[in-house]
Structure 1
Amino acid sequence: MTAEQSMNLFLTTDFSHYTRISNIFPERNFNWLTTELVTWKTFDGTIDQGILYKPENFDPHKKYPMLIHYYERKSDNLHNFIRPEPSNSELNIPFFVSHGYLVFTPDIHYKVGRPGKSAYNAIVSGALYLASRSYVDDKKMGLQGFSFGGFETNYVITHSHLFAAAMSVSGMSDFISAYGSIIYDGTSRQRQYELYRDRMGTTPWQRPDLYIENSPVLRADKVTTPLLMMANTEDANVPVQQGIEFFTALRRLGKKVWMLQYDGENHNLAGQLAKKDLTERMFQFFNYYLKGEPAPKWMTKGIPAALKGIDTGLEFDTSGSKP
């Protein structure tokens, strides 16, 4: 396989010469994608890499909106074929690229104690580097991250006004309260924060300044980017309270924010109806802010809890109301 061609079967007797014995290329029925390995210098002077996905019918003379998606390092996916499918949490790259978006996936290299700043260093510097290209619409750039990528979305929008829209899925917002929480199996999350993915390398008592620095909720007043969130009550990995804290803070401050919550769903969505719903709302959200398409009613009017599951609000609002 390649990023441009799906997997097929080959026959070989010597592992030097191959004969293809299947010929299945469903992607040829769609506006597929191409990949480019991008290299640039970050704010701290280090060299970083990421993948830029372009539509198959890419026109360098046009302006394209760009979505930036991240989770640690993704540049080793340069030649991977990505299946188009409903989103269970992450951005489905072929789906958005086939609808006229550029998608960029920068690698993030972390410094212990500075996970948020490390993400900012890679994401924002990469966005500015690509924004200098004539075909990137620098006024129509968006962010999408899941889990630790969701935290990184929360952090970046509290430190930058560069992006026109952002989506945070199952992400942390308060490192202090999260440090004291438990994981699905009942164990403390402290190990994760000190030694593992969250990369703090210390406790809140030794370095409270670092835990404050990496808590986006404490900078919610700085946010100017419209934000779509997902936080599920049965999330066994990131406590739903992390999403609620950030959502209620932003609402209290009068910011543009929406939170999706799927009953019976975990950190990732498993149900096909929930996946389809998330994909459609994500698509409508970014289309409104990055393409200027009409807003749906769930964005302009909201859906009261009493009507959850009854009124989807997915139809476009024709009244002239704006989010």
Structure 2
Amino acid sequence: MRFRFFALAALLAAHGPALVPGVTTTAAQAQQKLPLTLEDIWAKPTFRSASVPGFNWMKDGRYYSALEGGSLVQHQVTTGKALQTLVAAADLQPAGANAPLDVDGYTFNSDEQKILFTTETEPIYRRSAKSRYYVFDRASKKLTPLSAGGKQGYATFSPDGQRVAFTRDNNVYVTDLATMKETAVTTNGVKNNLINGSADWVYEEEFGFAQGFFWSPDSKQLAYYTFDESQVPEYDMQEWVGLYPKENRFKYPKAGEKNSVVSVSTYDMASGRTTKMDVGPEPDQYIPRVMWTTAPNLLSIQRLNRLQNKLEILHADANTGKTKVVLTDTNAAYVEINDDLNYLAGGKQFVFTSEKDGYQHLYLHDMNGKQVRQLTKGNWEISQINGFDPKTGFVYFTSTEGSALQRHLYRVNLKGGGKQRISEVGSGIDVVNMSPDTKYFLNVHSSAGVPAVTSLREGATGKLVKTLEDNARLKQILAQYDLGKLEFMTIKTSEGVDLNAYMIKPANFDPAKKYPVLMHVYGGPSFGSSSSQTVLDNYGGGNYLWHQMLAQQGYLVVSVENRGTSGRGSAFRKATYANLGKLETIDQAEGAKYLATLPFVDKSRIGIWGWSYGGYMSSLAMTKNADLFKMGIAVAPVTNWRYYDTVYTERYLKTPQENPAGYDENSPVQFAQNLKGKFLLVHGTGDDNVHFQNSIAFVDALIKANKDYQTLYYPNRNHGISGGNTRLHLYRQMTNFVKQNL
């Protein structure tokens, strides 16, 4: 479920780049704080965070580019000053068109003289999309469509800038930019049968990528995935449009069912020869990562067994297809997949992360896989490698060393020494975008209740170069509203487990009163980023403001981080292995019991809500701990893990054939007869991720148990349940449900 905390991520993303103009704070407003409204949070741009759109580092590290008013503008890193317009909006008007392109994105070729512009992008699933691409030549100012054969996917310049590879209709193509001649690398792609150059649904969702082709460093070869999904069962997701519903059938491997058989091939540009890499005789396995090493003609392939407890790094000769295993990483539970494999210049060493000492740390290996040394160590974990400086030998990474609630940038050298924090000393979350030469980084920093500040900083020291966006106007707006304080705390369970938590109190909190509590839960496993955590020292976006609105109306809002979530090492996260839902539900119940002991909490009025895995958790809480919770809301929940996909579900539960009890003993469907409190079940009928089938099964069980419930379904909405006024409508229904029942 690399949907993991998709709901929250979507809520944060929904508050994109502009602010309401002309908002000032008067003396009267300073005395009279404003109430938050759903319209302000979900319909108007009142609280939208400002950002730096279209930011891209340029090759020499001294400049960056950004989209401004439809034009592409170059800025100097050290001052942030706009130096020149690289491409004017007027130059992006195709022949015969009435207006310039509405640009979605752009990439430069190696000498930055040609640019690929993206427009008319159509999302497919979470990461996949197809677009119209145009090639712009800066010297001639000529704008040329990349292809006339229909929309393309993932168009990418070759490293030498002479070609562009892309996908269309499950095949891979290459266009020679000198002649604009298009060559088909593959021709056998067929929808719902065989895919070349793109990921299938489950790889895209759970392994986190959609583009499935990769240029060699010398531009002479192209490596690409092939997914034979002919044996994968289809899911039929009806679209409720027109006189008759439309069928949307796509391949979706549910737990225990057949996956795609995946292969990797290389295509030689000069000869047109295709060579298949030897990934072993076992078809029932995963190939979650493919990348080129820095050694000539050497391809790196990661191979993962179906149970995902054994990861192997293979080195493949791109000319012959022969492979050898150079490194094996195993775990009693599972091995997580990330993007932390980095091959160093010279083709003699690579850096990789592993949890083999209980926490995700950096290790240096030679090209035969032999460990040279462990570079980092401690009771904290690395969440991302951000950059590597070959001149100084420093690896830059983001970690939880300061706190599981925080993320900050550090660096360490290849000898395992010189480790230092680069981020400014203080709390919060740093999201880092480092320049290729590591001289500078773009830092997006926020903390609890404080909107993000985007700044340019020196890579070696973290010294501020320029603040690009401080969200001062948003802070000014927020200051006009009656916001409560967010307090972090630790709850110790009866088993002696410390659980991180936060509480939002009303601004006019009175300890002599008794308050109802709404708990917010996600609770699912996910490694690396902070995406599975709800208790974080960051701004929080839309959900944070909605929770503040509830606090204004007299509720305490609390979130408790149960076992199984990220940020605290392998043992804490993997405690739930093979038995999802059991310990998580115990911990949420312990949180509710603790809250019931507080003198200012009305223990008869504790509710819980969650989205995605959090919807699963709130469904379990309302059934397995029915006496603790008066009210619950489950949005887009899994209710039976047999309905969810192979990669995510089997990683944490094994297959249903091997571990049937792990699937059934904590399915909300099995406990429908226990429901006592008021319960609202929400789902989008167009959810390609957590299928509407989950809610149908739970509703059926509730009917059989003669239990009262309320449902709210959103036609054709996906897992994020958004679009138009959908979010406003959803949160109005949830607000009303909370106020009526808690």
Partner of 1:67: 518
Query: Are the aligned partners of 2:622 and 2:631 in contact in 1 as well (CA < 8 Å)?
Result: no
Partner of 1:190: 646
| Residue identity matched to 1:40 | I
Query: Are the aligned partners of 2:516 and 2:556 in contact in 1 as well (CA < 8 Å)?
Result: yes
Q: 1:249 to 1:220 in 2, by over 3 A?
A: same
Partner of 2:611: 146
Secondary structure of 2:714's aligned partner: coil
Secondary structure of 1:56's aligned partner: coil
448, 466, 472: which one aligns with 1:3: 448
User: 1:1-323 alignment to 2 at 5 Å?
Assistant: 1-7=446-452, 15=463, 22=472, 24-72=475-523, 74=533, 76-78=535-537, 80-83=538-541, 85=542, 92-110=546-564, 111-160=576-625, 161-176=627-642, 178-179=643-644, 189-195=645-651, 199-200=652-653, 202-290=654-742
Q: 1:60 to 1:218 in 2, by over 3 A?
A: same
Q: What is the distance in 2 between the residues matched to 1:21 and 1:233?
A: 37
Q: 1:155 to 1:16 in 2, by over 3 A?
A: same
TM-superposed CA distance for 1:32, in Å, is 0.5
Identity across matched positions, percent: 28
Query: Are the aligned partners of 1:66 and 1:136 in contact in 2 as well (CA < 8 Å)?
Result: yes
Q: What is the distance in 2 between the residues matched to 1:252 and 1:12?
A: 60
TM-superposed CA distance for 1:8, in Å, is 6.1
Query: Are the aligned partners of 2:632 and 2:680 in contact in 1 as well (CA < 8 Å)?
Result: yes
Q: 1:208 to 1:10 in 2, by over 3 A?
A: closer
Q: What is the distance in 2 between the residues matched to 1:113 and 1:43?
A: 23
Secondary structure of 2:687's aligned partner: coil
TM-superposed CA distance for 1:114, in Å, is 2.1
TM-superposed CA distance for 1:149, in Å, is 0.8
Structure 2 segments unaligned to the other structure (5+ residues):
1-445, 524-531, 565-575
TM-superposed CA distance for 1:98, in Å, is 2.6
Query: Are the aligned partners of 1:66 and 1:102 in contact in 2 as well (CA < 8 Å)?
Result: yes
Q: What is the distance in 2 between the residues matched to 1:277 and 1:114?
A: 35
CA RMSD of aligned residues (A): 2.8
Q: What is the distance in 2 between the residues matched to 1:50 and 1:252?
A: 36
* CA deviation map 1:250-293 (0-9, x unaligned): 13323221111111211112223211111111011110111xxx
Q: What is the distance in 2 between the residues matched to 1:205 and 1:22?
A: 55
Q: What is the distance in 2 between the residues matched to 1:207 and 1:57?
A: 50
Q: What is the distance in 2 between the residues matched to 1:231 and 1:21?
A: 34
Q: What is the distance in 1 between the residues matched to 2:604 and 2:684?
A: 31
TM-superposed CA distance for 1:165, in Å, is 0.4
Return the structure number with greater strand share.
Answer: 2
Q: What is the distance in 1 between the residues matched to 2:494 and 2:588?
A: 10
Q: What is the distance in 2 between the residues matched to 1:268 and 1:8?
A: 26
TM-superposed CA distance for 1:33, in Å, is 2.1
* CA deviation map 1:234-256 (0-9, x unaligned): 10111101001111221332322
Q: 1:6 to 1:210 in 2, by over 3 A?
A: closer
TM-superposed CA distance for 1:115, in Å, is 1.9
Task: State which drifts further: 19-28 or 29-38.
Answer: 19-28
Q: 1:215 to 1:150 in 2, by over 3 A?
A: same
Secondary structure of 1:113's aligned partner: coil
**Structure with more relative contact order (C-alpha pairs < 8 Å, separation 6 or more):** 1
* CA deviation map 1:86-145 (0-9, x unaligned): x7xx99322322322111111121220222112212211011112111111111110101
Q: What is the distance in 1 between the residues matched to 2:510 and 2:701?
A: 42
* CA deviation map 1:146-174 (0-9, x unaligned): 00111111112221121110000000112
Q: 1:17 to 1:193 in 2, by over 3 A?
A: closer
* CA deviation map 1:280-307 (0-9, x unaligned): 11011110111xxxxxxxxxxxxxxxxx
Query: Are the aligned partners of 1:231 and 1:244 in contact in 2 as well (CA < 8 Å)?
Result: no
Q: 1:65 to 1:76 in 2, by over 3 A?
A: closer
Q: What is the distance in 2 between the residues matched to 1:35 and 1:93?
A: 10
Q: What is the distance in 2 between the residues matched to 1:157 and 1:38?
A: 24
- TM-score, normalized by length of structure 1? 0.76
Q: What is the distance in 1 between the residues matched to 2:691 and 2:483?
A: 37
- TM-score, normalized by length of structure 2? 0.34
| Residue identity matched to 2:584 | A
Query: Are the aligned partners of 2:503 and 2:557 in contact in 1 as well (CA < 8 Å)?
Result: yes
Structure of greater Rg: 2
Q: What is the distance in 2 between the residues matched to 1:272 and 1:63?
A: 38
Q: What is the distance in 1 between the residues matched to 2:551 and 2:638?
A: 28
Q: 1:192 to 1:11 in 2, by over 3 A?
A: closer
